[in-house]
Chain A
Amino acid sequence: MSLQIDRKMVERVAVLSRLELSESEIAQFSAQLSDIVGYIEKINVLDTEQVEPLAHCLPVQNVFREDVPQPSLSNEQALANAPDQTDGYFIVPKILDDNSGA
């Protein structure tokens, strides 16, 4: 039985994705994502008990930078694309709950 991506699920995922969906988008995504997830579930027929996950195809490890300073951007360059800025800062509407997730 395949997983239904219902309205509740779409809303939960939208919150995590920081997307605000209209009613019609919720309905549309619910149907389309159910289809896609239903298709994806075909991988469940494969036995992967003894299989290692492959996050990367590369035979590469230990890629480092030496701890040597490089030039930074100027403040003007850093903020050149900022939608809003003041006194060298990026500006956003006031952050009320100042505790990060970290």
Chain B
Amino acid sequence: MSLDYKIIVGLEIHVQLATKTKMFCGCELAYGHAPNTRVCPVCIGMPGALPVLNKAAVEFGILTGLALNCDIARFTKWDRKSYYYPDLPKNYQISQYDLPITENGYLDILLDDGTTKKIRIRRAHLEEDAGKNVHTFGNYSGVDLNRSCTPLLEIVTEPDMNSPAEVRLAAQELQRIVRYLGVSEADMQKGHMRFEPNVNLHITRGGQVFKTPITEVKNLNSFRAIERSIAYEVNRQLDEFLTTGKTMQMGNKSTYGWDDVNQQTVLQREKEEAHDYRYFPDPDLVPVVVSDQWLEEIKARLCELPLAIQKRFVGDYGLSDYDAQVLTGEKATGVLFDAAVRCGGDPKRVCNLLTQTGLKLANERQTTVDALGVSPEHLAVLAKMTDEGQISATSAAVIFEEMTRSGGDPAQIAEAKNLIQKSDTGEIEALVEQVLAENAQAVQDAKDNPKKAKKALGFLTGQVIQKSKGQANPKLVSQVLNQRLASLP
């Protein structure tokens, strides 16, 4: 019997906002400090302590909503979500239940075939994070509340993704967007972004459509884990359907975790547990009303978004999709690229310099390209020197690295390091004469043996460059060589 299936995935994403302080208290948001040293009565949930809302968190939420083409709520409020857990000191989380700060938007992703797909955003709401439980105390667990009360934006998409790759692309696009907006560092290793895909299949068999039970995969924090866990779930659900015929029912959504070691999803909860969060408006907080003026102020902080920039780099500069994507991976890279091109650098050449050398150096130094200390003007000069043959591509990399150290002018560095290629025809002609004289066999092959001509020519060129101590412009050398060979009897 023929069997066809469609993968259906929706995504929930928790994004940690890059405010300086926590969502409802003045404790500094900081990573990697000793436990319980960035805490106060509010984020420990001490008796009598009251929350006061961080304005920046609201603005970051709105800014993200605008970037995701969402409607911004003009009236929103705070609700308490009740559940008991040691890392949740008040045993309720301040969140937004029925009036999220923003909803009804979409995210564009660029598929591998070059087409753009819209992933609809259902809503994005603000909430506080919990602390952390650590399990290094034998029969006990430790609770660290440094993370407690950290602002999060929870983004929920519609189930619009139909392959593991699409989910990964959406996750990556979101990461790029929040970084561009500056609303999150989105560092996966620090848990700044946590993903929870909801996966099921629509299986067509014998003209009938069967929907498999939805599974939610909790707390994924790498793009690889997203792609692999969904691929795994697809196979698992298909197998399960073929063996049991089980289909989606009310309440048979289950929760899985991702076991990275064994590369498989692991069942955590069979059924939607009888969670009763008892949401109700937080009476310690007052509503937020977003005026036209405030909204305009926040709109003014929007920037050109990465996918648009990526498409512009392809369209305007003729870069490949791949190169354009690499250049827009981080906002700083694209900005530097744009600026260098405006200073007269050839787009392709500037792109190569940035992607092959700049990003490598930035990565090694764990920083961004703009922090390497290379100005767009110098970058454009470096590109031009390479294009004009004044320096070799290899030398360009060396000069780039030196520019990051001294901040100096590429021409001066090339000069100082003796990397300017010899373009003095006289000098090169002399060297060519010398080489021709020393390699009679190769000269003969180059001239008369069609089978060996190419190899021989390469050999002779190499000999000349060697004699020039690598400073002869290869283009010029082969030009002179060819002329000279042609003139031989």
Residues of A within 8 A of B (CB): 16, 18, 55-56, 58, 60-75, 78-79, 84, 86-95, 97-102
Contact of A68 among B21, B129, B139 (CB under 8 A): B21
State whether A90 touches B281 (Cβ < 8 A).
no
Is B25 on the interface with A (CB-CB < 8 A)?
Answer: yes
State whether A100 touches B278 (Cβ < 8 A).
no
Contact of B143 among A58, A62, A89, A102 (CB under 8 A): A89
- Of the listed stretches B82-90, B107-115, B392-400, name the one at the interface; the rest are far from the partner chain: B82-90
Residue in B closest to A95 when the chains form the complex, CB atoms: B141
Q: Closest 9 CB pairs between A and B?
A: A70-B26, A89-B142, A101-B83, A64-B55, A67-B56, A90-B143, A69-B28, A88-B35, A95-B141
Find chain A residues with CB under 8 A from B277 CB: 101
Given contacts A75-B35, A94-B137, A95-B86, 18 further A-B contacts (CB under 8 A): A61-B286, A64-B54, A66-B56, A67-B19, A67-B55, A67-B57, A69-B27, A70-B40, A71-B26, A72-B28, A89-B134, A91-B141, A92-B86, A94-B141, A99-B218, A100-B87, A101-B83, A102-B130
Residue in B closest to A55 when the chains form the complex, CB atoms: B281
Question: Closest Cβ of chain B: how far from A38's Cβ, in Å?
Answer: 22
State whether B288 touches A89 (Cβ < 8 A).
no
Residues of B within 8 A of A (CB): 19-21, 25-28, 34-41, 44, 52-58, 81-88, 91, 93, 127, 129-130, 133-135, 137-145, 218-219, 255, 257, 268, 275-278, 281, 283, 285-289
State whether A91 touches B36 (Cβ < 8 A).
no
Contact of A94 among B52, B53, B139 (CB under 8 A): B139
State whether B21 touches A92 (Cβ < 8 A).
no
B25, B36, B37, B140: most-surrounded residue (chain A CB, <10 A) = B36
CA distance A97 to B476 in the complex (A): 71
State whether A86 touches B137 (Cβ < 8 A).
yes
State whether A62 touches B289 (Cβ < 8 A).
yes
CA distance A100 to B255 in the complex (A): 12
State whether B39 touches A61 (Cβ < 8 A).
no
A55, A61, A84, A102: most-surrounded residue (chain B CB, <10 A) = A102
State whether B133 touches A70 (Cβ < 8 A).
no
State whether A70 touches B54 (Cβ < 8 A).
no
State whether B26 touches A89 (Cβ < 8 A).
no
State whether A94 touches B135 (Cβ < 8 A).
yes
Find chain B residues with CB under 8 A from A62 CB: 286-289
State whether A90 touches B37 (Cβ < 8 A).
no
Find chain B residues with CB under 8 A from A64 CB: 52-55, 58
CA distance A102 to B218 in the complex (A): 10
Question: Closest Cβ of chain A: how far from B45's Cβ, in Å?
Answer: 11
Residue in B closest to A53 when the chains form the complex, CB atoms: B281
A-B CB pair tally, cutoff 8 Å: 151
State whether B218 touches A78 (Cβ < 8 A).
no
Contact of B137 among A67, A69, A78, A89 (CB under 8 A): A89
Question: Closest Cβ of chain B: how far from A87's Cβ, in Å?
Answer: 7
Find chain B residues with CB under 8 A from A55 CB: 281, 283
State whether A67 touches B268 (Cβ < 8 A).
no
Question: Closest Cβ of chain A: how far from B399's Cβ, in Å?
Answer: 42
Residue in A closest to B294 when the chains form the complex, CB atoms: A62
Known: A67-B56, A74-B37. A92 touches B84 (CB 8 A): no
Question: Closest Cβ of chain A: how far from B85's Cβ, in Å?
Answer: 5
State whether A98 touches B133 (Cβ < 8 A).
yes
State whether A65 touches B37 (Cβ < 8 A).
no
State whether A72 touches B286 (Cβ < 8 A).
no
CA distance A70 to B25 in the complex (A): 8
CA distance A92 to B145 in the complex (A): 14
State whether A98 touches B53 (Cβ < 8 A).
no
Find chain B residues with CB under 8 A from A74 CB: 37
Find chain A residues with CB under 8 A from B55 CB: 64-67
State whether B39 touches A67 (Cβ < 8 A).
no
Residue in A closest to B20 when the chains form the complex, CB atoms: A67
CA distance A18 to B252 in the complex (A): 26
Contact of A65 among B52, B218, B268, B278 (CB under 8 A): B52
CA distance A93 to B140 in the complex (A): 4
CA distance A63 to B285 in the complex (A): 8
Contact of B39 among A66, A68, A78, A87 (CB under 8 A): A78
Contact of A88 among B36, B127, B129, B285 (CB under 8 A): B36
A60, A72, A86, A101: most-surrounded residue (chain B CB, <10 A) = A72
Question: Closest Cβ of chain B: how far from A29's Cβ, in Å?
Answer: 18
State whether A72 touches B142 (Cβ < 8 A).
no
Question: Closest Cβ of chain A: how far from B390's Cβ, in Å?
Answer: 49
Residue in A closest to B95 when the chains form the complex, CB atoms: A102
Question: Closest Cβ of chain A: how far from B366's Cβ, in Å?
Answer: 24
State whether B286 touches A99 (Cβ < 8 A).
no
Find chain A residues with CB under 8 A from B26 CB: 65, 68-71
Find chain B residues with CB under 8 A from A61 CB: 286-289
Residue in A closest to B51 when the chains form the complex, CB atoms: A65
State whether B36 touches A70 (Cβ < 8 A).
no
State whether A70 touches B268 (Cβ < 8 A).
no
State whether B141 touches A92 (Cβ < 8 A).
yes
Residue in A closest to B146 when the chains form the complex, CB atoms: A72
Find chain B residues with CB under 8 A from A79 CB: 36
Residue in B closest to A60 when the chains form the complex, CB atoms: B286
Q: Mind listing 28 A-B residue pairs with CB under 8 Å?
A: A16-B276, A56-B283, A58-B286, A62-B288, A65-B26, A67-B54, A67-B55, A69-B21, A72-B40, A73-B40, A73-B41, A75-B35, A78-B145, A79-B36, A86-B140, A89-B35, A90-B143, A92-B141, A94-B138, A94-B139, A94-B141, A99-B218, A99-B255, A100-B85, A100-B87, A100-B130, A101-B81, A102-B88
